[in-house]
Each structure stands twice: as C-alpha cells, then as structure tokens.
Amino acid sequence: MAGAIIENMSTKKLVIMGVTLLLFQALAFMVGGLIAPSPTTAVHYLATKCVDKIKHQEESKWFMPWGHDQCEKIRTFDEAVAKRIEANNIVFAIHIPMPQKEMSPWFQFMLVILQFDIAFKMYNQIEDGAMASLDVRLAYRDDTVSDWTEMAHSLELRKLSCNFTTTRTFENEGRYYECDLLPFMEIGSVAHKYYLLNIRLPVNERRKVNVGIGEIKDIRLVSIHQNGGFTKVWFAMKTFLTPSILIIMIWYWRRIMLMSRPPVLLEKVILALGISMTFINIPVEWFSIGFNWTWMLLFGDIRQGIFYSMLLSFWIIFCGEHLMDQTERNRFSVYWKQVGPIVFGSFCLFIFDMCERGVQLTNPFYSIWASDVGTELAMAFIIVAGICACLYFLFLCFMVFQVFRNISGKRTSLPAMSKARRLHYEGLIFRFKFLMLVTLTCAAMTVIFFIISQVNEGHWHWGEHTVQVNSAFFTGIYGMWNLYVFAIMFLYAPSHKRYGDERSSGQCITGDAGANSGEDIQLTTTITHVDGPTEIYKLTGKEAHE
C-alpha cells in the first residue's frame, strides 16, 4: 500500500501525530478523573413497614414511608405480633429518593437490588430452595402533593439463596443469614422526580406461597443510578467526538472515491468501523433528557455490540489482507469462517439482552436470573457467546502467526526482488506491524485500566485533588478507541502523493509482472495494486526493515 498516508509520512510527522493523539488521550483520562464524579451512585434504602388496616385491599392505596400523608408504621414485627397484625397486612414502602432530594433524567437509568434480613430461628428456618413471592407496585409523581400514578405492578418470584455460617443452635438465634443479592428492578430512564415502591409478601399456606422463608426482619434495597455529573461529562465527550470522527470519515471516503479504482475490501471495512464508531458516538442520549425513552439502555447495548463485532471483524480482515500468500481474497465471503463466530456470538448476546432488558421495557421487575429455566437459558447464551469468542481468538491468533511466518519468509527473499516489489512488501510489513503494535497497546491499556478500576476503591487522593479512577477508566478507554479509529482512518487513507508517480509506478509493476507471475497475483489483489512507490515512501521505507 504504497499510497497509504502512514507510509508516505515522514518519521517526524508521524511522531508529531502520535504525540498529538497521546495528548488527546491524556485529556480524555483527565476529563473523567478530575472533572467527572464517580460514574454511579449506590443509595441504601431500608423499607418502612406499613400496616394496611383495610381488610379488602384497596388497589389505589399507596403507602408512603415518610413525609406528608405517611402510613401507619411498626418498628419491628414483635410489635405486629402484639397488635395481632397479619403478614398479609404488612406493606414494605420505599420512597426513592430520600427526603429533600429528587431524581433527574440525568441519572439515565436506575437499577434496584433487593436484600432480605432474615434472622435465624430454630423453629423457623429457611427451607431448601425457598422462593419468596413478592407483590410489587411501582408508582411515580412529579411533585410532592399530587397523587401517585402506577407505573408497574407485578407478582415476582425470587429464589432465596441464604446460608447460615455459624452452628444452628438456640444460642445463635437472632443472628442473620447471609443472603445473596437479588435483582429487583431496572428502569431505562429516570423521567420522574419521585418513585414509590410498595412490596407485599402475601402468605398462602394452601398454595405454599411464602412458606418457609424464615423470619424476615427487614427488607433493604440498594438503588444504583448514573451520576448526573458523569452523564454531563459523557455527553459532552460524545458531542465533541461525533463531528471529529464524522469529518475524518467523510474525508477518508472522499479520498477513496477520488481514486480511479473501486474501493477494496479493507477500505470498506475501515469505513464500516468508522460508521459503527459514529453510531456509538452520536449523542442521541440528549433526547433522554426531554423524552421518556426507556429503551435507551437496550439501544446503547446494541450500539456497543455492533461496534465490538465490527472491530473484531476488522482485525480479522486486516490480518487476512496482509497474509502475503498467493491467494485472491478481497471478498467478504472468504472470511465467513472467522466472521461467523463473531456474528453468531453477538447474536446470542443480543438475544440474551433482549430477554433481559427487552422484557424489562414492559415489566421493570423482570429478571431472567430469577427463574431456573431463565438462568439456564441465559447461561447457555453466555456460554455459546464465550465459545464463539474463544473460537474467534484462536482464528485471529492463527492468522497473526501466519502473517508473521510469511513476513519472515518474505524478508529473506526481499533483497532479491525488484525495487517496486520490495517496497511493496516492505510497505505491507510496516503497515501490519504498525497496526499490530497500536492494537496491542490499546488492548493492553484497556485490560490494565479495567483491572485497576476493579481492584481499586474508586478514587485516589492525589494531594488536593481526588482522582475518580472509574470515571477516568470510562472516558479514557472510550476516548482511546475513538482515537484508534481516527488514527486508522487517517493513516490508512490513500495518499495524495501517489498521483504524481502513478504512471511510473504502474509501469514498474507491469514491467515486473512478467518476471514472476506467481507473486503478481498478490500484487494486484491488495489495495495498492495501482499504487507505486513514491519518493517519500522510499525515504520512510527504512522503517519497515525494523
């Protein structure tokens, strides 16, 4: 690819560009680390135990834990025993958010986790495989005085997986079981200011509903939402990145269109990569501030999925096009074996996501993990996707290995080749090695920062400043892959410089073609078949020897 900008750039310009990109990279990390708050906030809620005194339960009645018009409360269930209140008359009420606060569309999403505090009692132990069945209702309102509007009402089953770590004796009565977190609710947009949850645990002994679930002391919820500050920084970043990628993409495609030949596969794939990056970048989330679009979470997942599969396909095709064996490729269908696992794997994850977040569009309390069949199904999808990923990486590693084997094979025969052919191969090797290096660096950075953000407490104190490591991870990695796509489109675009030399280089290749017809195929199948070496390329070609 003698015509690619990367080869025609002088080392100095390449270094300048690298430094500029690094500066932007540092900026992306700093925006997240210093300006943004942590990405998400977890808020604890302790359910208030309200008493529903009306015998026939009125559907429209809502129970408020505090504030104006609050319900009749009991502190502990011992009090309920004394007052002869039945389990069916207990309503657990949770108001989201806390007093004096209000939710905002900037929070983007809210997911709620449920935890039971179950005390150990010798005569009331949790049975094996006990299921809690919850009658949950969710309501919203936008000011503190109006009536609550019901958003969702559902009867949910959750499996209690609790274990008691100490010995089961009378001595240890009253100590709590250690229970797993239960997924409870997920809403994809926080369009209202106040939310109210009413949970009942109805008992029906004949139908074995809520029997043998131990002595419940409390219900605790943890709600997780994205921080408004992080959302703003994130939106700002997207708004800035969209035009940058869009402009370079248009510039890139114009250059290809200017050429006399039709675009080859690799060029098309790079364009597709740019399009999928832009697709992620376009800040459609701005609309979630004004509209109640609950599908935004799902849409975000789909966009990310498309980008990841595009990136993976790009790597495979890039390797394939640089194989330097004497096979005609340049067609997408050649790569079905490698791209197949990607498509199948992402399809599996898409189905899984539709089963989880898709169903949550209609029932926010739905969780695929709540039922046994659902869990198995979800695990099946994830395992199949995992196998596909493994298959893909085996293919990729094998291809990279093949390329390197061919490179070392070619290198020995390089001095014997004609000048044009030699420069052509040197170009191929240089381009491949460059992308390999950049890709590995980016992947390593992603993995390293991922690990740091996982093991870390979330923020570092650095003198006066607090660095939000998790936010820095998100903005930094997001910025990095944007810069990666940007750099690829810029560096691998055809160079203007070839126009002057087109005729002479064409002659070079035609002259050379008669000598070795076997290698001729290779020369005409890569992107560069009409491009010849240029003057600057001859200067920078030395890098390829490295």
Partner 1 sequence: MRSRLPRTACLLRLIALCILLSHSAAYFGLTGREPLVLLPAPFSNEAPTGKAHLKQCEQMSLTRRQKRLCRREPGLAETLRESVRLSLLECRYQFRNERWNCSMDGRGSLLKRAFKETAFLLAVSSAALTHALAKACSSGRMERCTCDDSPGIQHREAWQWGVCGDNLKYSTKFLKKFLGQKRVSKDMRAQVDIHNINAGIRAVKSGLKTTCKCHGVSGSCAVRTCWKQLPPFHDTGRLLKYRHDTAMRVLSVTNAATGETELAGPHRHSQSLRTTDLVYLEDSPSFCRPSRYSAGTGGRSCAKDTTCQSLCCGRGYNTAMRLTSMSCHCQVRWCCHVECQTCVREEEVYTCKTA
- Confirm or reject binding of residue 117 to partner 1 (CB under 8 A): yes
* CB 70 to partner 1: min, Å: 7
* CB 65 to partner 1: min, Å: 6
Q: Which is nearer to partner 1, 345 or 541 (CB)?
A: 345
* CB 185 to partner 1: min, Å: 12
Whole-angstrom distance, CA of residue 368 vs CA of residue 246? 38
- Confirm or reject binding of residue 271 to partner 1 (CB under 8 A): no
- Confirm or reject binding of residue 47 to partner 1 (CB under 8 A): yes
Structure tokens at 515: 């000598």
Range 325-364, binding partner 1 (CB under 8 A): 349, 352-353, 356
Instruction: Please calculate the CA angle 110-113-119 and round it to the nearest 5 degrees.
Output: 155
* Residues ≥6 apart with Cβ < 8 Å to 26: none
Q: Which is nearer to partner 1, 26 or 81 (CB)?
A: 81
| Cα-only R_g, the chain | 31
* CB 203 to partner 1: min, Å: 5
b/e sequence 347-378, b meaning 16+ C-beta within 10 Å:
bbbbbbbebbbbebbeebbbbbebbeebeeeb
Return the range that interacts with partner 1 (CB under 8 A); candidates 65-73, 144-152, 325-333, 403-411: 65-73
- Confirm or reject binding of residue 418 to partner 1 (CB under 8 A): no
Whole-angstrom distance, CA of residue 226 vs CA of residue 387? 32
Range 469-498, binding partner 1 (CB under 8 A): 474
Q: Which of 75, 206, 207, 461 binds partner 1 (CB under 8 A)?
A: 75
Q: Which of 59, 99, 128, 207 binds partner 1 (CB under 8 A)?
A: 99
* CB 329 to partner 1: min, Å: 31
Q: Which of 87, 390, 443, 539 binds partner 1 (CB under 8 A)?
A: 87
Q: Which residue has the tokens 């298959």?
A: 391
Range 227-266, binding partner 1 (CB under 8 A): 227-230
- Confirm or reject binding of residue 216 to partner 1 (CB under 8 A): yes
Range 434-473, binding partner 1 (CB under 8 A): 450, 453-454, 458
* CB 99 to partner 1: min, Å: 5
* Beta bridge partner(s), residue 466: 461
Distances (CA, A) of 515 to 172, 478, 508, 523: 90, 49, 12, 13
H/E/C letters for each residue in 252-266?
A: HHHHHHHCCCCCCHH
- Confirm or reject binding of residue 173 to partner 1 (CB under 8 A): no
Q: Which of 210, 197, 224, 219 is nearest to 94 (CA)?
A: 197
